[in-house]
Amino acid sequence: MPSYDLVVVGAGIMGLASAYHLKLNNPSKSVLVVDRFGAPGQGNTGRSNAMFRNTFTSTDNQILANTSIDFYLHLQNELKVDIGLQLIGYLWLLSENQIGRTEGYVQGMKRNGIEVEEYSVEELRRLVGGVVTSLDRDDEEANVMGLEDISGAVFGPKCGRLDPEKLVRFYASEFTRLGGKIALKTNVEGLLLGPSRRLGIEGEPFVWQESEVKGVRVAGGITGDLEAKSTVVACGAWNNELLEPIGVDGHVKAKKRQLFSVSAENDGPLLSLLHTKGFNNLGLIPLVILPKSGVHFKPVSEERKFWIACEDEVNRPYINIPGRDLDSYRAEASYYERGVHPVLAAYFPQFRNARPESMWAGLYAYNTVDYLPYAFREGNLIVVGGDSGSGIMKGDALGRIVDALYREGADASLYDGVEYGVSKVGFERRDVKREEWVI
């Protein structure tokens, strides 16, 4: 049976960031990453909106995101590693009721050193051409949807987008350069459970024996059992598939999320909106979040397109153990036409005739309790997940936390020497405040 010091399940952002930091800080250890796709980041990482922000209400989320973003900026600006990072910013358009609810969030961020700007509705109209801030009260459709006027906005400048494939490629190439191995097209069929101390009795481990994960059973690119002294489960929405059969709770649930791509190529008003100046040095509109249902859009300047999405919380079922065929989770044209588009066009008439050129879906792995990620250790098993749609923006910090858990350290050293207690995002001694500003 092939044997490794560490086997990491999952070659998305969580798995590869973990594998990289594990190999970097434990160079003598043999580390293998296994993934069922044919290339790194081809699961939900590659299907994500690939945005990042540091504008959270939770101090822990702020730290995890801020240090990861700083590392990504270091990669691109100082090490000249192209990860497609653009600081376009996040722009929340808020109703009067929302301004009242979020003012405390904004002040809390400012106290923690998070840069946040607030705009009056007049300033917003000067900056963003064509935005409808005062809705027609005789508009029956707007009234039926419960749309409210826009009374102001909040802008986060240290927020933006990056290319997820380029980011995971960095982690994968550095991991293999350090001597790590990646086995692709390899399905993990289950975790191998055995006694900590084998007695050679058929049927062990028994209830009176101490049990531990001994490795993984795989099929495909590699077939058979792989022995591991430590195993990291970092496969996002599929964590429960491996954890529940051995009685470990992953504390996450999956949910389908959808993206719709609209072209601005031959549309003057949309192209002008795409190239809205005044928010960043790229001359691009930020990611814009509308006051209703979390409908939001971002510019994809190199394609002259907008990507459009929605929170999609109510009436979208949770999935405890998703099917492995990610292509079976399809975007729904009717969801855009009847749900997203009416809200979008009401506030931005430029989108009135906009129809998706392409659409796709993926899975969020939600921590439904406090919307912060989990990273914990059960014996020689380490679990990381529950990022609630923000795996990329906190991925580097979580990779460092996984490494600290492996080395049984109390603190992880995040980028730029920021110390962080690993038990805070664990389970038994979890100590975080619920995130209130979820997209």
Q: Residue 1 pLDDT more than 80? A: no
- Per residue in 396-413, pLDDT (tens digit) is 999 999 999 999 999 999
pLDDT above 90 for 298: yes
- Domain co-membership, 374 together with 233: yes
Could you identify the residue written with the tokens 């809200």?
Answer: 343
Tokens of 364: 């969020």
CA distance 283 to 275: 6
Residue 380's domain comprises 3-55+165-251+369-425
- Considering the domain architecture, whether residues 239 and 299 belong to the same structural domain is answered as no
CB 69 within 8 A of CB 416: no
**Would 78 be classed as within a structural domain?**
no
- The pLDDT of residue 426: 97
Alpha-carbon distance of 267 to 227, in angstroms, equals: 57
pLDDT band at 177 (very low <50, low <70, confident <90, very high): very high
Same domain, 195 and 295: no
On whether both 230 and 350 belong to a single domain, the answer is: no
208 plus 171 within the same structural domain: yes
Q: What is the mean pLDDT of residues 275-279?
A: 98
What's the CATH code of the domain at 308?
3.30.9.10
Q: Is residue 38 part of a domain?
A: yes
Regarding whether 382 and 238 lie in a shared domain, the answer is: yes
Label residue 353 by pLDDT band (50, 70, 90).
very high
pLDDT at 365: 94
Does residue 73 lie within any of the structural domains? no
Q: Is 77 a domain residue?
A: no
Q: Is residue 170 part of a domain?
A: yes
Is residue 281 within 8 A of residue 138, CB to CB? The reply is no
Mean pLDDT of 336-351: 98
Q: Quick one: 146 and 262 in the same domain?
A: yes
The pairs formed by 250-253 with CB atoms below 8 angstroms and a separation of 24 or more are 250/374, 250/383, 250/385, 250/386, 251/367, 251/369, 251/374, 251/386, 251/427, 252/365, 252/366, 252/367, 252/368, 252/374, 252/385, 252/386, 253/318, 253/319, 253/320, 253/365, 253/366, 253/368
Q: Where is the domain boundary, 322, 339, 366?
A: 366
Query: Is residue 200 a part of any domain in this protein?
Result: yes
Give me the number of domains the chain comprises. Answer: 2
pLDDT at 228 over 80: yes
CB-based contacts of 110: which residues, under 8 Å, 6+ apart? 116
pLDDT at 313 over 80: no
pTM for the whole structure: 0.96
Q: Is residue 331 part of a domain?
A: yes
- Both 361 and 383 in a single domain? no
CA separation (Å) from 173 to 77, 170, 177, 355, 359?
Answer: 19, 5, 6, 38, 30
Task: Tell whether the model's pLDDT for residue 314 goes beyond 80.
Answer: no
Reported as a pLDDT band with limits 50, 70 and 90, residue 439 is confident
Residue 355 has pLDDT above 80, yes or no: yes
What amino acid occupies position 333? A
Q: In this structure, are 357 and 281 located in the same domain?
A: yes
pLDDT value at residue 158 = 98
Q: Is pLDDT larger for residue 98 or for residue 203?
A: 98
Determine the distance from the C-alpha atom of residue 101 to the mean position of all C-alpha atoms in its chain, rounded to a whole number: 25
What is the C-alpha separation between 354 and 356, in angstroms, rounded?
7
pLDDT number for residue 330:
95
Q: Where are the beta strands (DSSP E) in 87-223?
A: 90-94, 117-120, 152-156, 160-161, 181-183, 186-195, 211-220
